[in-house]
Amino acid sequence: MLIFAAAELFVGNWPAAFVALMTLMLSMAPLFVARWAEVVVPPSFILAIVLFVGGTLFLGETFDFYETFWWWDIAMHGGSAVGFGLIGFVLVFMMFQGNAFAAPPIAMAFFAFCFAMTIGAFWEIFEFAMDQMFGLNMQKSGLMDTMGDLIVDAIGAFIGASAGWLYLKYLTHDGPRHGLPAVIAEFIAKNPRFFSRKNNR
């Protein structure tokens, strides 16, 4: 990103250089936040964040992937919704201090789904505000774009929340070994102080 930003600055392409630097900063931000909060973030989480930020900002805006590939916006919204579904489940599970009996698995998954959908709704409000205040075109086709994004967000949020539900179901065994439930298990294993109560049935 630094090399690309320097090259764009050299030819006077200020917007592309700015996007490259923003991509770099946002990709590194989770590492600094995690260090500040004393949270161990698994490499898989970091990789997902870097890929998302690079995809939505760098490729999406600088190389116009949103216009070149019709499915790019769907992939970005769906991927982020899955991620926020996972984060929502982890936060809810953290509030219960890792106690799998504190609430039914379906209730935890529901709150994770709601968390992800709330983030998606706020993003659509942000797009609308930017279009109204600064004359941008973030909503593209208006209502159709907004509703399409929210539908994709709902699907992604359902997948992320379902991973949390599956994680709780796996607690009777040796723990999930594959897929998104394994990502949750990895995060919890690396941050035991936030999940103090034992999960063994």
Segment 150-191, tens digit of pLDDT: 999 999 999 999 999 998 887 755 666 678 888 888 898 889
Which structural domain, as residue segments, surrounds residue 143? Answer: 70-194
User: Is 142 within the bounds of a domain?
Assistant: yes
User: Is 120 within the bounds of a domain?
Assistant: yes
User: Is 112 within the bounds of a domain?
Assistant: yes
User: Is 117 within the bounds of a domain?
Assistant: yes
135 pLDDT band (50/70/90 cuts)?
Answer: confident
Give 199's Cβ-side CA count (13 Å radius): 23
Q: How many domains does the chain have?
A: 1
Give 103's Cβ-side CA count (13 Å radius): 18
0.85 cut: is pTM over it? no
For residue 199, the model assigns a pLDDT of 47
Give the pLDDT mean for 68-73. 90
Nearest CA among 177, 194, 197 for reference residue 186:
177
For residue 176, the model assigns a pLDDT of 63
